[in-house]
Chain A
Amino acid sequence: MKFIIAIIKPFKLDEVREALGAIGVAGMTVSEVKGFGRQKGQTEIYRGAEYSTNMLPKVKLEIAASDALAPQVVETIQQAASTDSIGDGKIFVLDLASATRIRTGETGDTAL
């Protein structure tokens, strides 16, 4: 099993979620996060006082997927979240040691 963490632009969330649904991803966890990469921050000015915000809002997806599905998940997110510009985000894939469904106690791929 793989654990996939994707940082994407917030407005791309719906597209990504639909595309993942179409390839059979049954669930995900989404959080609003802040961070920076090559995009850097932006400058805000209030009555002449300049503040540079170096953290930008992003959305973080966490998805657990079977080894078979994982490459497809990564490809789908990459395509759906891309705008061909800096700041589109990153996808990280980790090995997942185990997964347990709390309700039934099932483990492994069947718990996903």
Chain B
Amino acid sequence: MIRKILCGAGALGASMFVATAAWAQDAAAAAAPTVDKGDTAWMMTSTILVLMMIVPGLALFYGGLARTKNMLSVMTQVGAICAVAMIVWVGWGYTEAFGDGGNPFIASFSKALLMNVTPSTTAATFTSGVAIPEYVFICFQMTFAAITVALVLGSVVERMKFSAAMIFGVCWLTLAYFPIAHMVWAGNGFFFAKGALDFAGGTVVHINSGVAALVACIILGKRIGYGTEPMPPHSLTMTGIGTGLLWVGWFGFNAGSALEANGSAALAMMNTFVGTAAAGLGWMLAEKLAGHKPSALGFCSGIVAGLVAVTPAAGNSGPLGAIVLCFLTSFVCYLAVTKVKAKFGYDDALDTFGVHGIGGMCGAMGTGVVYSAALGGPSGDSWMGMGAQLLVQAETVGTTIVWTAVATVISIYIAKALTGLRVSPEVELEGLDIGEHGERAYNY
């Protein structure tokens, strides 16, 4: 199922075409959409679940992977960029992505500072005539923007200045996230109009953040001692806790993306269980086949790779399709993280590109396959149309990669011009916790 999002008073789910304001008003006059309390309660719950994925989920997942001396720096960057994204979202993010009208690349700025939004305005769902309060939709989408920009920071930790991370975040959200969210999810968006499938953000969140992470870490450069001194995770216990919080929170992310408490949400929930499970086991199997021990970090990495892959497919695949898709994605991500990264030598510190970028691409392309009714997906077509769908998916993935890469280059250089981008070697060696925040994570 493709999101049909046209926000604002009176915009109906059925209005697939670019609507003029007058048309929208006519439609509103014809039938005011129903706001269901069950849907609203579920969407509010989902929104909070996504927040839990970031603080503390992602903060702990990433923090545990960093070294002891950088634990607080990682957690603080994740938390603070999440807060920055919320403020920016209210300022211009929401309207840039989901405001009225606009063009295929960004919406209009008529809802800057949430102007014209009231407790009685609504956002359309996928069911004609059913809506949710617009504030709930704004909050839900706000958490997506927040986690996406926080994900990007995974590749640049342990060496990027706190101030640089914040400025980069604001620029990147504006230049990359909001436009791509609009293109994929808004009714008049560039990819949406082509029929691209992205249930909960495989392209918008994962390819977007993964590619940005790769570009950012290449421009920033490697950590001092990368490849020559040991940099093992300081606490896989924390990473394990973070993984659990991510998985649980992801039900809000995926099942919440149905925008209603219905069968589509149920399908997304099902897939978020079993696809993820298959990927967690898949990564450990890959380790075993490579001659190593099945590891705790491998399990956690597989879980996240599976969650990434199932994101675009959540409501667009049957459970068996999701299991196969996530299992295979886990193997591909394993190779990306263990072989490709080593071969090219870039320092994607916490493997944001390897897991989210590559996993997101596998998920986006795989969704074009498992969507087919012949494979148990919810598409009306059987094998027919799979080729065309794959073409649309590939076009979306390719355009997103180029768009976000360019936006990331611009954003990083703005941050560099304003802050210098990277901490001094002294601070890097002593750790960013003391150097950037004046604290230690652990005082025994």
> Could you tell me which residues of chain A, from 44 to 60, have a CB within 8 Å of some CB in chain B?
44-49, 51
We find that the number of chain A residues with CB closer than 8 angstroms to chain B is: 7
Q: How would you classify the secondary structure of chain A's contact residues: helix, strand, loop or mixed?
A: strand
Of B232, B293, B297, B339, the residue contacting A51 (CB under 8 A) is B232
User: A82 vs B292: C-alpha distance in the bound complex, in angstroms?
Assistant: 30
B231 touches A49 (CB 8 A): yes
A51 touches B230 (CB 8 A): yes
> Could you tell me which residues of chain B, from 284 to 314, have a CB within 8 Å of some CB in chain A?
292-293, 295, 297-298, 301
User: A51 vs B351: C-alpha distance in the bound complex, in angstroms?
Assistant: 18
User: A46 vs B149: C-alpha distance in the bound complex, in angstroms?
Assistant: 25
User: A46 vs B300: C-alpha distance in the bound complex, in angstroms?
Assistant: 11
Write the A23-56 contact mask toward B (1 if CB under 8 angstroms, else 0). 0000000000000000000001111110100000
Smallest distance from the beta carbon of A102 to chain B beta carbons, Å? 28
- Flag whether B342 is at the interface (Cβ < 8 A): yes
A47 touches B232 (CB 8 A): no
B292 touches A45 (CB 8 A): yes
- Flag whether B195 is at the interface (Cβ < 8 A): no
User: A47 vs B232: C-alpha distance in the bound complex, in angstroms?
Assistant: 10
User: A43 vs B297: C-alpha distance in the bound complex, in angstroms?
Assistant: 15
A48 touches B337 (CB 8 A): yes
User: A51 vs B233: C-alpha distance in the bound complex, in angstroms?
Assistant: 11
Write the B326-353 contact mask toward A (1 if CB under 8 angstroms, else 0). 0000000000011101100000000100
User: A49 vs B67: C-alpha distance in the bound complex, in angstroms?
Assistant: 15
Question: Chain B contacts of A46 at CB under 8 A?
Answer: 232-233, 295, 297
Question: Chain A contacts of B230 at CB under 8 A?
Answer: 51
Smallest distance from the beta carbon of B54 to chain A beta carbons, Å? 22
B232 touches A48 (CB 8 A): no
Write the B71-98 contact mask toward A (1 if CB under 8 angstroms, else 0). 0000000000000000000000000000
List 8 tightest A-B contacts by C-beta distance, closest first. Answer: A48-B338, A51-B230, A47-B337, A46-B232, A46-B297, A45-B292, A51-B232, A46-B233
Residues on A lying within 8 angstroms of B by beta carbon are 44-49, 51
